[in-house]
A and B are shown apart, each in its own frame.
Chain A
Amino acid sequence: GAVVSQHPSRVICKSGTSVKIECRSLDFQATTMFWYRQFPKKSLMLMATSNEGSKATYEQGVEKDKFLINHASLTLSTLTVTSAHPEDSSFYICSAKTGVAYGYTFGSGTRLTVV
Chain B
Amino acid sequence: DQQVKQNSPSLSVQEGRISILNCDYTNSMFDYFLWYKKYPAEGPTFLISISSIKDKNEDGRFTVFLNKSAKHLSLHIVPSQPGDSAVYFCAASPSGNTPLVFGKGTRLSVIA
Number of A residues, CB within 8 Å of B? 26
| Across-interface contacts of A104 in B (CB, < 8 A) | 34, 46, 93, 100
Give bound CA distance, A39 to B93, whole Å: 22
Chain B contact residues, CB within 8 Å of chain A: 9, 32, 34, 36, 41-46, 49, 51, 89, 93, 97, 99-105
Give bound CA distance, A49 to B99, whole Å: 8
Interface residues of A, dominant DSSP: strand
Query: A42-B104, A44-B89, A102-B32 are known contacts. Are A108 and B43 too (CB-CB below 8 A)?
Result: yes
| Across-interface contacts of A109 in B (CB, < 8 A) | 41-43
Contact B99 A34 (CB under 8 A): yes
23 contacts between A and B (CB under 8 A): A32-B97, A36-B102, A43-B104, A44-B44, A44-B89, A44-B102, A46-B101, A49-B99, A91-B41, A93-B44, A102-B32, A102-B34, A102-B49, A102-B51, A102-B93, A104-B46, A104-B100, A105-B46, A106-B43, A106-B44, A106-B45, A108-B43, A109-B43
